[in-house]
Amino acid sequence: MKIMLCPINGPRPVSEFVCAGEVREMPHPPTCSDAQWSDYVFNRSGVPGIKKEWWYHASSGVWFIAERDTTADRLLRTYLLGEESK
């Protein structure tokens, strides 16, 4: 079982976590085109590489961002939203 690093609770087994997919910027709903919106809703990049994802520590209810290198299967860093630079 792999280890995921929760920014609040530290390293924990990955079974305690839920991955909620890539972090994507929501286009502004009233002004974006239908195509832009559909792309946001439906399309995901499956290309291996460095991924920025939403992760959730289910045991404590902490949402955070994880950056993973899916090619090397390596966790690069995790942080709470907005605390990227800390």
Partner 1 sequence: MSSRLPPVLGEWIDRSQSLTIRFDGQRYAGHPGDVVSSALWAAGVRVLGRSFKYHRPRGILSLANHDVNTLMTDDAHINLRGDVSPLAEGMDLRAVNTAGGARADRRRLFDKLSAFMPVGFYYKAFHRPKALAHFWERFFRRMAGLGEINVDSPRLYTPKRYDFRDLLVIGAGPSGLAAGLCAAHSGASVLIVEENAQAGGSLGYARGGSDTNHERLEELLAQAKQLPHLEIRTGTCAVGYYADHWIALVEAQRMTTLRARAVIVSTGVMDQPAVFRNNDAPGVMFASAAQRLIYRYAVKPMHRAVVLTANSEGYEAALDLDRHGIGVGAVLDLRPEGESTDLAQRVTSANIRVLKGYGVSEAIARNDRLTGVRIFSVDGQARLPIPNSEVLSCDGLLMSVGFAPAAALLYQAGARMSYSEITHQFYPRELPKGVFAAGRVNGVFDLPYRLEDGKRAAQEAVRYLGFSTQPNPIVPPQRRWPTHPYPIFAHPDGKNFVDFDEDLQLKDFANAAQEGFDNIELMKRYSTVGMGPSQGKHSNMNAIRILANLRGETVDKVGTTTSRPFYHPVALAHLSGRGFHPVRRTPLHSLHAELGAAWMPAGNWQRPEYYARSDQDKNECVRGEVRAVRESLGLIDVGTLGKMDLYGPAAGEFLERVYAGRCANLKVGMTRYGVMLDESGVIIDDGVMARLSDQHFYFTTTTTGSATVYRELTRWNTLWRMDCGIVNLTGAFSAMNLAGPKARDLLAKLTDLDLSHASFPYLGVREAQVADVPCRLLRVGFVGELGYEIHTPAEHAHHLWTALMAAGNALGIRPFGVEAQRLLRLEKGHIIIGQDTDGLTTPLEARMEWAIKMDKPFFVGQRSLRIVAPRQRKQVLVGFTLDKSHSGAVPKECHLIIRGNDIAGRVTSIAFSETLGCHIGLAFIIPELAEEGTAFAIRADAGKMVSAVVAKAPFYDPSAQRQRDY
CB 8 within 8 A of CB 60: yes
Q: Decide if residue 8 touches partner 1 (CB under 8 A).
A: no
Q: How far is the CB of 73 from partner 1 (least distance, A)?
A: 7
CB 78 within 8 A of CB 57: no
CA distance 65 to 17: 12
Report the site for partner 1 in 46-85 (rule: CB under 8 A). 54, 56, 58, 61, 63, 73, 81
> Which CB sits closer to partner 1, 37 or 67?
37
DSSP for residue 74: E
- How many whole angstroms from its chain centre is CA 79? 10
> Which CB sits closer to partner 1, 35 or 47?
35
* Residue ranges in contact with partner 1 by CB under 8 A: 1-3, 18, 20, 29, 32, 34, 37-38, 40-42, 54, 56, 58, 61, 63, 73, 81
